[in-house]
Amino acid sequence: MLGDLPPFILPSPMRVAQAFWSNALVIAGHAAVTLAEILTGLVLGAILGGLSAVLLAASPLARSALRPILVLSQAIPVFALAPLLTLWLGYGFWPKVLMALLIIYFPVTSAFFDALVRTPADWVGLARVMGARPAAILWHLRVPAALPGLASGLRLAAVYAPIGAVIGEWVGASQGLGYLMLLANGRAKIDLMFAALIVLVLITWILHWVVDASCEWLLGRTSA
């Protein structure tokens, strides 16, 4: 209102609300696709990252072989991989899932691994004096002690996973909120683009809240 900007540059909140109301079913359909991509990538990335961290902590050979690969994977911009994944895997569901997985894999692995190797030395020493085997120390002592680190990685993953999914949709897709935003932008429907963006922000916020609450519940049960 102050700058007297045209609607195709910055629509008013009322225009955005009207666009959301008149396109609610369309937005909901695209949001469901993006949410499925995010959740699938988040679950797979959390499982793969957690298992990788445990393997790195348990095996010096794995650390020497895999840690350089992890560092190298972060040296390659994930954005640059999206066109290749689309070329190799097509415009369907799995390239977006893989993008979400790639963008959250390193934070989950790094946070959990750092927590695993920082288990208090006194605890480990006491377990060894009591005759515990390395595998038992890992699963019954180091992993429970490192759960706060895993929770931190999962909280980051909940925020990063939507980024990966939307990047994949921008590069090549026929559905999803990222696709809808590009389509609306190309047709100068900036109000619809803002409506889709707001829905994406709400999905990310709710997902982060759910993951955070779940982690707090799990940590509370573990400490009890």
Mean pLDDT value of segment 115-137: 85
Taking 70 as the threshold, does the pLDDT of residue 118 lie above it?
A: yes
Render pLDDT for 13-40 as a digit per residue (tens, 0 to 9).
999 999 999 999 999 999 999 999 999 9
Q: How many domains does the chain have?
A: 1
Query: Cα(121)–Cα(128) distance, rounded to whole angstroms?
Result: 11
Residue 140 lies in a domain: yes
- The pTM (predicted TM-score) of the whole model is 0.90
Residue 163 lies in a domain: yes
Render pLDDT for 42-96 as a digit per residue (tens, 0 to 9).
999 999 999 999 999 888 888 888 888 887 777 777 778 888 888 888 888 999 9
Query: Cα(163)–Cα(207) distance, rounded to whole angstroms?
Result: 13
Domain extent, residue 204, equals 18-223
- For the chain, what percent of residues have pLDDT higher than 70? 99
Residue 11 lies in a domain: no
Residue 167 lies in a domain: yes
Q: How confident is the model at residue 223 (pLDDT cuts 50, 70, 90)?
A: low
| Among candidate residues 133, 111, 123, the one with its CA nearest the CA of residue 54 | 111
74: domain CATH number?
1.10.3720.10
Residue 1 lies in a domain: no
Instruction: Identify whether the C-beta of residue 60 lies closer than 8 Å to the C-beta of residue 116.
Output: no
